[in-house]
Chain A
Amino acid sequence: MAVLLFGVSFGVLARSSGFGALPALVMSATTFAGSSQFAAVSVLGADGTIAAAVGAAVLLNARYAAMGLAAAPSFRGRRLRRLLESQLVVDEAWALSSRDGRFDRRLLVGAGLLLYAAWVVGTGLGVAMGTALGDPESLGLDAAFPALFLALLVRQLESRRAALAALAGAAIALALVPPASPGLPVIAATAACLIGLRRAREPA
Chain B
Amino acid sequence: MSAAWTTVALIGVATVAIKASGPLLAGGRGLPGPLAGVVQLLAPVLLAALVATQALAGDGRLVLDERAAGVAAAGVVVALRAPVLAAVAVAALVTALLRLAG
Contacts and interface: CB of A to CB of B under 8 A. Distances in A.
Nearest to B13: A30
Contacts of A168: 45
Interface in A15-32: 19-20, 23, 26-27, 30-32
Contact of B8 (A31, A58, A163): A31
B48 to A, nearest CB: 4
Contact of B34 (A31, A71, A87, A197): A197
Given A71-B23, A140-B99, A177 B11 contact: no
A54 B50 CA distance: 14
A177 B18 contact: no
Interface in A134-160: 137-154, 156-157
A151 B67 contact: no
Interface residues of B, number: 75
Given A65-B22, A68-B20, A197-B37, A54 B10 contact: yes
Contacts of A85: 23
A85 to B, nearest CB: 7
A66 interface: yes
How large, as a class, is the contact surface on chain A? 35 or more
Contacts of A31: 8, 11-12, 15
Given A61-B18, A63-B42, A141 B92 contact: yes
Contacts, number: 306
Given A69-B22, A137-B99, A142-B95, A172 B38 contact: no
A59 B44 CA distance: 11
B14 A54 contact: yes
Contact of B18 (A64, A152, A165): A64
Given A138-B96, A143-B91, A144-B91, A194 B38 contact: yes
A72 B23 contact: yes
A132 B8 CA distance: 25
Contacts of B66: 140, 143
Contacts of B61: 177-178
Instruction: Pick the 8 closest A-B CB pairs, nearest first.
Output: A68-B22, A140-B95, A147-B91, A200-B37, A143-B70, A196-B37, A189-B49, A147-B74
Given A63-B42, A72-B23, A178-B60, 8 more contacts: A66-B22, A66-B31, A66-B39, A86-B20, A86-B22, A171-B52, A196-B37, A201-B33
